[in-house]
Amino acid sequence: MPWSTADIPDLTGRVAVVTGANGGLGLETTKALAGAGAHVVMAARSPEKTADAVAEIKDSVPSASLETVALDLGSQEGTRAAAASIASAHPRVDILVNNAGVMATPEGRTEDGFETQLGIDHLGHWTFTAGLLAPLVAADAARVVTVSSTAHHMGRRIDPDNPHLEGTYTEWKAYGQAKLANLHFAYGLDREFGAAGARASSLAAHPGLSHTDLQSRTVREGGGGSTGPFWEGLAATRGMPPWRGALPQLRAATDPRARGGQFYGPLWMNTGDPVRRPLLRRLGLTRSIEILWQVSEDLTGVAMDVRGAVAGLTPS
């Protein structure tokens, strides 16, 4: 039988954090996790949009236990503050879904001077995850799920000498780089958890072609190049609804049979039931992860110190 939200186990007593939780895949992910009994921290940028999302979730899941935290992944300072706020309120975090992102934006910079897509899709989540390591490794068996895209196939690993693609920028080249970074981050983090003896695991997922506001926002903001309208139209006519697009990340986050280092996506690449997908680009993976770690630490000034988080655990 195909996997569905009905297969999510009882999550009562668990704490989940979802980035970009106020729309699209993040909203559907929050709704499903709350429906299974989890307390969900909705980390998102727009307070007004988040308030509307809370009302929508409460309409369908009256018992939903929700909390909101303002999160702007384009601000390293704001991202550190959001993670610190969550960590201080929750000694244990059982599920973290790094879902938020932008796609094929015009060339730009975050407030920290990072290329927009790399800065938001990867570096923001790098710093956010690092700030939540203590409650993640304190949980019984936490899972971190980072959402990539089939666009990772057209990405290239980060060039340490030009991570922001200065002089070579195109919208889709930058998106591919960011989504491949998401995948390398998910695999690298799982290796770090294992090496440190942590009980946590890290997985990746992608939603295939889903009809959310992501494609339309890209076009509205002048991104996507000449193919932006094509992808917007294809998503509208052939894309899966958001609730189906969210299933791979939900399965990665909750299926008891899922394991660290696995990758979930639709059966037929861009559509279909959520299944485990093979990682096709294994050649040079270890070196790509090493480069990503070094570049991410150098740019953000934030270390992904899993060993330190594990060492800081207080025996219960």
As annotated, the active-site residues are 148, 175, 179
Tokens 């992904």 appear where? 304
CB neighbour list of residue 193: distance below 8 Å, 6 or more residues apart: 137, 200, 201, 202, 260, 306
Q: In the chain, at which residue ranges do the beta strands (DSSP E only) sit?
A: 15-19, 39-44, 65-70, 95-98, 143-147, 201-205, 263-266, 274-277
The DSSP bridge partners found for residue 18 are 42, 97
Maximum separation of any 2 CA atoms in the chain, in Å: 57
Dihedral in degrees, nearest 10, Cα atoms 9, 259, 142, 149? -90
Give the Cα separation of 305 and 292 in Å (integer): 15
The SS3 call for residue 52 is helix
The DSSP bridge partners found for residue 205 are 147, 264
